[in-house]
A and B are shown apart, each in its own frame.
Chain A
Amino acid sequence: MRYEYTVETEDLAKYYQLGEVVVKALDGIDLRIRRGEYLSIMGPSGSGKTTLFNMIGGLDRPTRGRVYIDEVDISKLDAYELAWLRCRKIGYIFQTFNLIPVLTALENVTLPMIFAGVPREERMRRAVEILNRVGLGDRLHHKPAELSGGQQQRVAIARALANDPVIVLADEPTGNLDLHTGLEIINMLRQLNVEKGVTIFTATHDLKMIDVSDRIVWIRDGKVDRIEKRVDVVVGMEEI
């Protein structure tokens, strides 16, 4: 089945209780991400970007509202189906890379395929193929600590793609990288989006991301401030 919208959110809200105060990290987000789209969430830190990433990725439970992935309400899934969703439908990329430190690049990429039940030879073949595609064919047996930040993030991209997800979610993917390496990662994500048609959702405040995004959603204090197409983007000084 191919659906028009890969992700839909309906009045999505997340409140945190911090002592006496209720913090509204997200407060009624309605968002639709089309299949094959490259969508970036922009906003200052504390605006709710990461919370939105967690909600869409099924990593945290919303206070109110719903998230649909391929038209399935993820709040209705049981533990098995949720694990399956995270494994098969979504690829995650983090600011801090979050590779498993004791595993090599190759093993990190094969891990999600173990959960997906892919046979061993097939796993190896595909992991090598994907790592080659992200330019790490000569680093297969290196552990994360032996790789640079940019290389670690490329392993993370390869891992996110391992099970052919319908959407790749990236939370500040360039946040820990220098300008040049960050640009490399952004271009790689765009290339995957264009060539393989992978839907990409990034939460970022890296303005370099604007160049490659189809749409940019600006959020502020947990609400959608405005949604723009790339050509319309005008960045004000206060947003930098």
Chain B
Amino acid sequence: MLIILDPVMSKSTVESREVKFPPSEAFRFSIESIKRRFVRALITAVSIILGIAFYVGLRTMSDIMLSIYGTSEAARSYQLWMAIISLIVCAVGILNSMLMAVTERTKEIGTMKCLGAMDGHILMIFMFEAILVGVIGGFIGAVVGWLAGVLIYIGEYMNVIFSSALMTSYIMRMGEGILIAMILSVGATIYPAYHAASMDPADALRFEL
């Protein structure tokens, strides 16, 4: 097999007609956007924090109850259902605020495309924003939920709560919470961001809320 490497050719023919937007630039843009649209990010983050706090709180409590009383199978599944419902409520909240956050930026997306952005570049910016908000919101929510779960039992069962077996499960639950927050946040962003990014710039620029 013959491989011809011609740096001059590849530079002029492959690179010359392409626009660039390295992930590092997209990441910087996302951070700026979150910083300067802080209230909007906060609203999204709060809905994540509440949902994840509720989820992690319930799971933590059920772990503690299990190690204190050895809870029945029925009670376990009831608690799991509560947690799932908390996540559904959380998902709806995130979807709603992400939908708004992306839609109100449709015109901005149109402008970016006039400047040379491609659909994928726009998606990349929104993905980074969703991941950042998801991880930060998820982390805060997980800590708040864990504290709430632990504080309820802290007086009577001090030594049980901080047993090493439970410690591992706390960390597991919090990790779960952060992961779920990220998935929900990204999932809720993909659709509206894809929709806005694939519009013709003319339509995006005409867009009014």
Contact = CB atoms under 8 A, between A and B. Distances in A.
Contact of B205 (A59, A111, A112, A159): A59
Interface string B167-200: 0000000000000000000000000000000001
Q: Is the interface of B mostly helix, strand, loop or mixed?
A: helix
A117 B37 contact: no
Contact of A84 (B37, B110, B116, B201): B116
B118 to A, nearest CB: 5
Contacts, number: 82
B84 to A, nearest CB: 37
A101 B116 CA distance: 18
A41 to B, nearest CB: 16
Nearest to A51: B202
Nearest to B121: A115
A65 to B, nearest CB: 16
B116 A100 contact: no
Contact of A83 (B33, B117, B202): B117
A61 B203 CA distance: 11
Given A59-B200, A59-B202, A116-B19, A83 B116 contact: yes
How many B residues touch the partner, as a band?
20 to 34
Contacts of A4: none
A112 B21 CA distance: 10
Contacts of A150: none
A84 B115 contact: no
A86 B18 CA distance: 11
B161 to A, nearest CB: 44
B19 A87 contact: yes
B37 A79 contact: no
B115 A112 contact: yes
B200 to A, nearest CB: 5
Interface of A: 54, 57, 59-61, 79-81, 83-84, 86-88, 92, 94, 98-103, 107, 111-112, 114-117, 143, 159
Given A111-B115, A115-B20, 5 more contacts: A59-B200, A59-B202, A92-B114, A115-B116, A117-B20
